[in-house]
Amino acid sequence: MSNQAETLEFQAEARQLLQLVVHSIYSNKDVFLRELISNASDALDKLRLATMVDKDLVADTDDLHVAIEVDRDARTLTVRDNGIGMTRDEVVGLIGTIAKSGTAELLRQLRESADARASQDLIGQFGVGFYAAFMVADRVTLLTRKAGETGGTRWESAGEGTYSVEGVDEAPQGTSVTLHLKPADTEDNLHDYTAEWTIREIVKRYSDFIAWPIRMTVERPGADGAEATSEVQTLNSMKALWARPRDEVDAAEYNEFYKHVSHDWADPLEVVHMRGEGTFEYEALLFLPSHAPLDMFAPQGRRGVQLYVKRVFIMDDCEALVPTYLRFVKGVVDAHDLSLNISREILQQDRQIQIVRRRLVKKVLTTVKDLKANHPERYRTFWTEFGTVVKEGLIDDTDNRDTLLEILSVASTNDPAELTDLAGYVSRMKDGQSDIWYATGDSRATIENSPHLEAFRAKGHEVLLLTDPVDEVWVERVGEYDGRRLRSIAKGEVDLDTDEEKQQAETEREQQRQEFAALVEWLGATLADSVREVRLSSRLTTSPACVVGDAHDLTPTLEKMYRAMGHEVPSTKRILEINPGHPLVAGLRKAHEQGDSSETLTETAELLYGLAVLAEGGELADPARFTRTLADRLARTL
């Protein structure tokens, strides 16, 4: 090997990539340090492996580490490792060319895509790696010696078309990369990378969990004129808990780590620690918090899962890894085979990431299922805090719908305090009951006092009481559980009588139908602006009237929700059901028969309708008119 200096040209693709790195793609220049540290860490891993495989390899592995050195006067920053190093040929091959397949094609696309954002996405498909150094330096020198060899190699380039390589007789084991820094330019996001605190922060942010110590010598001014001192500090914590086997991590360590990633003050409710092997390796350490964050329902609320690639921090709030309905899950996913530079957009489409996401979701849900079966107290905490959000999953995560329905708990008329699950409801269903009944409303109290519930109460049929806005949506979407229809007590015709009871009641019904036919017809015409039909009810026992929808109608709550979201929704007229057994209805029939003044009669009809709307917790179109009429009417009774 000759020690002669040579000037070589970068391979064409490498030159183009360099151009891109330096001039366009990255607004966040700080990541250059992450790239260099990641390379150094790889080099240390490789050396350790090499000495294990090859017992004859002469290399010093006593103190493997990364060192960051700064020369403020010369404005240089050096990242040094005592890892595997490179031979001259490797330097030329690895640094001077881009070996990755498909790069040429990618670069062609990049050149052709005029818009900057598309370029960002494309570039996310491979790492810019070592070349990131040229974002912050106008000259880079690399000195390296391959473990087991005596001579080293010096490489230098200004990142323009060429580089020089020469052999050197002596070089320390491993690689050092020295950046001759560009002047700081904060407007261009170029910080002063000789400043201790800048370096410290970048290392903490991106490289904290790197498995090797990252050291730096720091200067401290002496107190009261004493001499300045310097000491070597390790900047990273190295504690990548997720990479350790589960049985070697204790609860206190998990808790501490949780607080670190979540900024929560309380301990987590549950730890989910998993690893995937095979074609796509990853580790995941996720946590179910013990309380909901304040921004859980904020439109821009963040998700809590961070993405790492081989212990290098890539991004916060990685939406590609968890669906919105698990946005409260906190933790870390470390995927081994991704590019450090991968963009959010690419991640969303990455097949491997989609597989990981599916596994994470399954695992989180089975964890909750397990809590429900074995730790009811903790499950209850979980459901109280996050149930509302988890229910969003029932709307569009059809893959996991069954599991979601298993972990679901809702209030029910069965018990005033305890929630029930659907299996519990089914086990208590009456003989001959084929549907699962539910009622929706703003609060448990409103629903319980709603006239719709009367017949169910009279017959002793259990009804699920759903009070979250999202409930309206998922019950519609899900439609059935365990082969039984989920049916609203406020929609369609309700007939809870058995066939026998029906037969008995039939004559009475028929008679009522005839007696009330004229009133029903008149009411229908009189209230035509408010309801689309009037009919006799079989769901009322004590209330005079109620309003119901057709099986496929939007409920008033849903209508309100859609409007709040800015959708145009025509308002649906509903059906007024009247109770022939109620004195008010019976009296109204008599008055109508006798041909009472139509004005008073119309007022009574409007009052009857208003009462039905109020009873279900609804809103009147004209409350002032309603109260005025009612007050007049009351005054006349005194």
Ligand X SMILES: Nc1ncnc2c1ncn2[C@@H]1O[C@H](COP(=O)(O)OP(=O)(O)OP(=O)(O)O)[C@@H](O)[C@H]1O
Q: Extract the annotated binding site for ATP.
A: 35, 39, 81, 86, 100-102, 125-130, 175, 344
Please compute, for residue 317, the number of CA atoms within 13 A of its CA located in the half-sphere on the CB side: 4
d(CA 388, CA 386) in angstroms, rounded, equals 6
**Closer of 129 and 304 to Mg ion (Cβ):** 129
Site string for ligand X, 328-347 (x = CB under 6 A): -----------xx-------
Distance between CA atoms of residues 385 and 358, nearest Å: 23
Q: In the 3-class helix/strand/coil scheme, how is 422-478 assigned residue by residue?
A: HHHHHHCCCCCCCCEEEEECCCHHHHHCCHHHHHHHHHCCCCEEECCHHHHHHHHHH
Q: Is 83 in the site for Mg ion (CB under 5 A)?
A: no
175 binds ligand X (CB under 6 A): yes
Interface positions, 557-616, toward Mg ion (CB under 5 A): none
Verify binding: residue 207, ligand X, rule CB under 6 A.
Answer: no
Residue among 59, 84, 179, 356 that touches ligand X (CB under 6 A): 84
If one asks whether residue 39 binds ligand X (CB under 6 A), the answer comes out as yes
Identified binder of ligand X from the candidate list 13, 30, 81, 406, rule CB under 6 A: 81
Shortest spacing between CB 42 and Mg ion, in angstroms: 7
Q: Is 41 in the site for ligand X (CB under 6 A)?
A: no
Per rule CB under 6 A, is residue 156 in the interface with ligand X? Answer: no
Q: How crowded is residue 224: how many other Cβ atoms within 10 Å of its Cβ? A: 4
Considering the complex, what minimum distance in angstroms separates the CB of residue 399 from ligand X?
Answer: 32
51 contact partners, CB below 8 Å, separation of at least 6: 57, 59, 61, 147
130 contacts ligand X (rule: CB under 6 A): yes
Q: With contact defined as beta carbons under 8 Å apart, do 586 and 598 qualify?
A: no
Amino acid at 284: A
413 in contact with Mg ion (CB under 5 A): no
Q: From CA 3, how far away is CA 171, in angstroms rounded?
A: 13
The nearest distance, CB 412 to ligand X, in angstroms, is 54
Please report, as residue ranges, which positions from 34 to 63 form the binding site for Mg ion (by CB under 5 A).
Answer: 39
50 contacts ligand X (rule: CB under 6 A): no
Residue 50 is encoded by which pair of tokens?
């090499």
Task: Based on the shown chain and the rule CB under 6 A, indicate whether residue 40 belongs to the binding site for ligand X.
Answer: yes
Length reported for the chain = 638
Interactions with Mg ion, residue window 112-131 (CB under 5 A)? 129
Q: Does 367 bind Mg ion (CB under 5 A)?
A: no
Binding residues for ligand X, total number by CB under 6 A: 18
Q: Site for Mg ion (CB under 5 A): how many residues? A: 2
**Coil vs helix vs strand at 577:** strand
Minimum CB distance to ligand X smaller for 78 or for 234: 78
The 514-553 contact track toward ligand X, x by CB under 6 A, reads ----------------------------------------
Residue nearest Mg ion, Cβ-based = 129
Please identify, using beta-carbon distances, which residue of 202 and 274 lies nearer to Mg ion: 202
Q: DSSP character for 93?
A: I
Whole-Å CA distances, 295 to 96, 301, 324, 364: 48, 5, 13, 21
CB of 36 to ligand X, least distance (A): 7
Report the helix count and the strand count for the chain, using DSSP H and E: 22, 23
SS3 call for 124 = coil
- DSSP conformation class of 542: S
Structure-derived torsion over alpha carbons of residues 67, 71, 75, 79, reported in degrees to the nearest 10: -10
Q: Of 273, 207, 201, 203, whose CA–CA distance to 241 is shortest?
A: 273
CA distance 271 to 275: 13
The residue number with the shortest CB distance to ligand X is 127
Cβ-based nearer residue to ligand X, 44 or 286: 44
Tell whether residue 94 is a contact of ligand X (CB under 6 A).
Answer: yes
Binding site: residue ranges? 35, 39, 81, 86, 100-102, 125-130, 175, 344
Helix axes 196-207, 31-53, angle to 10 degrees: 60
86 binds, among Mg ion, ligand X, none (CB under 5 to 8 A by kind): ligand X
- Would you tell me which residues interact with ligand X (CB under 6 A)? 35, 38-40, 43, 81, 83-86, 94-95, 127, 129-130, 175, 339-340
Binding site for Mg ion (CB under 5 A): 39, 129
